Amino acid sequence: MGRISKEVMGGAGKSLWEVLVCPLSKNPLRYCDETKTLISDAIAVSFPIKNGIPCLVPQDGKILQEEQDANDANSSAMNQGRSS
């Protein structure tokens, strides 16, 4: 029954993510099962869920690009090492 799954989600339920949008871009949010965060794909920012409460204050967001940048920096460092 729908009710049981709602209770498991702490009263939130999956439909919640469909009503919520990114507070900055106002585009849809995607729930990421792996990180248990809400992702705003439009601006590549993730928002945490703490204690069953989505934290959608703009300052709560983390830019996803950072990880990507870190990887890029590593690979370019390796390339430089090769060429010298």
Partner 1 sequence: MALRTVTRKLGNKFFPLLSSTSHLHSHATSFGFKEVKEEEKAEMVGNVFSNVASNYDLMNDLMSAGLHRLWKDRLVSKLNPFPGMKHLDVAGGTGDVAFRILESINRVKQRGIKRDFEDILEAETKIYVCDINPNMLNVGKQRALQKGFMEDGSLVWVEGNAESLSFQNDTMDGYTIAFGIRNVTHIEKVLSEAHRVLKRGGRFLCLELSHVGIPIFKELYDLYSFSVIPSMGEMVAGDRESYQYLVESIRRFPTQEKFASMIADAGFQKVEYENLVGGVVAIHSGVKI
What 8-state DSSP symbol labels residue 27? -
Nearer of residues 63 and 72 to partner 1, judged by Cβ: 63
Binding of partner 1 by 45 (CB under 8 A):
yes
Question: Closer to partner 1 at the Cβ: 5 or 79?
Answer: 5
* Member of 32, 53, 70, 73 binding partner 1 (CB under 8 A): 53
**Which are the contacts of 36, defined by CB distance < 8 A and separation ≥ 6?**
49
| Inter-residue contact 60 to 75 (CB < 8 Å) | no
Q: Are 62 and 43 in contact (CB under 8 A)?
A: no
Q: Which residues bind partner 1 (CB under 8 A)?
A: 3, 6-7, 11-13, 16, 19-24, 26, 29, 43, 45, 50-61, 63
